[in-house]
Amino acid sequence: MSDRCNFSRWLALEGLRATPVRLAVLEILGEAPRALRAQEILELIRARRRVNKVTVYRILEDFTRRGMVRKLSLEGRVNHFELACEHHPPHPHFQCQTCREVQCLEPVALNRIWTELQGPVGNRADHIDIKVEGVCHKCRDIS
Amino acid sequence: MSDRCNFSRWLALEGLRATPVRLAVLEILGEAPRALRAQEILELIRARRRVNKVTVYRILEDFTRRGMVRKLSLEGRVNHFELACEHHPPHPHFQCQTCREVQCLEPVALNRIWTELQGPVGNRADHIDIKVEGVCHKCRDIS
DNA sequence: TTATACTTGCAACTCAGTTGATTTTCGATT
DNA sequence: AATCGAAAATCAACTGAGTTGCAAGTATAA
Ligand SMILES: [Mn+2]
Ligand SMILES: [Mn+2]
Ligand SMILES: [Zn+2]
Ligand SMILES: [Zn+2]
């Protein structure tokens, strides 16, 4: 996924130095087949280099503010992160109620329900998050 | 909202005693015009009686497991709760990115996109959560 | 009344995430 | 090459929503 992104160039465009930790965060998110928790990202970086958790949290927060990364609040207390590059448009997510694993679903057209979701007159809707909950195929096989 | 619910009877149907704290949780959620955080519920109960936070958290967890209450993961670390009685069918929510306030939106028909959201073959989708983010009318007026 | 299960309270804990201060690194300037 | 200032990383300590285990209280059943 998104192997086509030039992360060094992307950071330069944002006015950020292409430090090893920043590049590691982007590469790990770019290779991930699903949204990752901060702790998973931390452990994956630590497989290649020594790093403090605060650094990773601050980078993820900064990337989120800049819109380079999407922060997903799928369940309380633990956030998931995914790349928000041009190759990863927003899309719905599936979370299994048994194993808590998260899947990325294909983008859906929301044109028809978008206007219904604007809410009371005067609100400005910027984007829609869709989360589907259920039981994944792996957990269904077990039971 | 849902003044028509007989909470004592509902608890009896669930095989639960109609204790003062349980009734207070249901009454507060029934009167709330929006989803509430656990801490807000706690403070509203404390306006009428002494209560320990653990009791409220345990009641909310129990109600959620039984499907009497919906737990919303709108943003990391803080859950919101709302009544899931017959008068409150599931519906989308709006959260303002400025003041973080949550609004309940009208239910929308999802028939059309439901099948698209089933995901990879084999998953069983049970329900869909829709969260709209943006800026509420109050915060728009200010800026 | 006594036994039992249910409910609440208390204190201590967990853990993802945050804060502030300090040190290190890097790129520019001399 | 040495110096300097800003950006980046580190460290320890903290925050706070939610949890756990156990003791104490309360209602129901026998
Ligand atoms: Mn995704
Ligand atoms: Mn609602
Ligand atoms: Zn699963
Ligand atoms: Zn607002």
Which carries the bigger pLDDT value, residue A21 or residue B119? A21
As a whole number of angstroms, the distance between CA B84 and CA B70 comes to 6
Which residue is nearest to the C1' sugar atom of C11, using CA? B54
Where does residue B2 rank: exposed (0-12), middle (13-18), buried (19+ CB within 10 A)? middle
CA B7 – CA B24 distance, rounded (Å): 10
Binning pLDDT at 50, 70 and 90, where does residue B1 land?
very low
The per-residue pLDDT for A115 is: 78
Q: Is the pLDDT of residue B51 over 50?
A: yes
Residue B117 is predicted with a pLDDT of 79
Q: Which residue has the tokens 């790093």?
A: A51
pLDDT greater than 70 at residue B2 = no
Q: Is B130 in contact with A117 (Cβ distance < 8 A)?
A: yes
Q: Does A94 touch chain B (CB under 8 A)?
A: yes
Q: What is the mean pLDDT of residues A131-141?
A: 90
Q: Measuring CA to CA, which residue among A25, A85, A31 is closest to residue A59?
A: A25
Euclidean distance between CA atoms A86 and A90, whole angstroms: 10
Across the range B40-49, mean pLDDT stands at: 97
- Place B3 in a pLDDT band, splitting at 50, 70 and 90: low
Instruction: Kindly report the nearest CA distance between residue A68 and chain B, in angstroms.
Output: 17
pTM to 2 decimal places: 0.92
In this structure, CATH architecture of domain B89-143: 2-Layer Sandwich (3.30)
B65-81 mean pLDDT: 95
State pLDDT tens for residues A111-127. 777 877 776 778 899 99
Q: Distance of CA A140 to CAs A34, B15, B74, Å? A: 20, 30, 27
Nearest Cβ partner for B122 among A97, A130, A140: A140
User: Residue A66 — left, alpha, or beta (φ > 0 → left; ψ -120 to 50 → alpha)?
Assistant: alpha
Which pLDDT band holds residue A28 (cuts at 50, 70, 90)? Answer: very high
Numbered ranges of CATH 3.30.1490.190 in chain A: 89-143
**What's the pLDDT score for residue A73?**
94
- Asked if residues B72 and A88 have their Cβ atoms less than 8 Å apart, the reply is no
The shortest C-alpha distance from A18 to chain B (Å) reads: 28
Closest nt to residue A78, judged CA to C1' = C16
What pLDDT is attached to residue A3?
Answer: 54
Expressed in angstroms and rounded, the spacing between residue B127 Cα and the centre of ligand 1 is 18
Q: Name the band, by pLDDT with cuts 50, 70 and 90, for residue A57.
A: very high
How many cross-chain Cβ pairs, A to B, lie less than 8 Å apart? Answer: 130
- Contact residues on chain B for A72, CB-CB shorter than 8 A: none
Q: What are the residue ranges of CATH 1.10.10.10 in chain A?
A: 1-88
B130 contacts on A by Cβ (under 8 Å): 117, 128-131
Q: How far apart are CA A43 and CA A37, in angstroms?
A: 10
Find the mean pLDDT for residues A21-32. 98
Interface probe with A: pick from B117, B139, B142, B143, most Cβ of A within 10 Å: B117
Q: What is the pLDDT of residue A79?
A: 97
Question: What residues form DSSP beta bridges with B137?
Answer: none
CA A140–ligand 3 middle distance (angstroms): 7
Provide the mean pLDDT of chain B: 92
- A92 contact B CB<8A: yes
Q: CATH classification of A1-88 is 1.10.10.10, yes or no?
A: yes
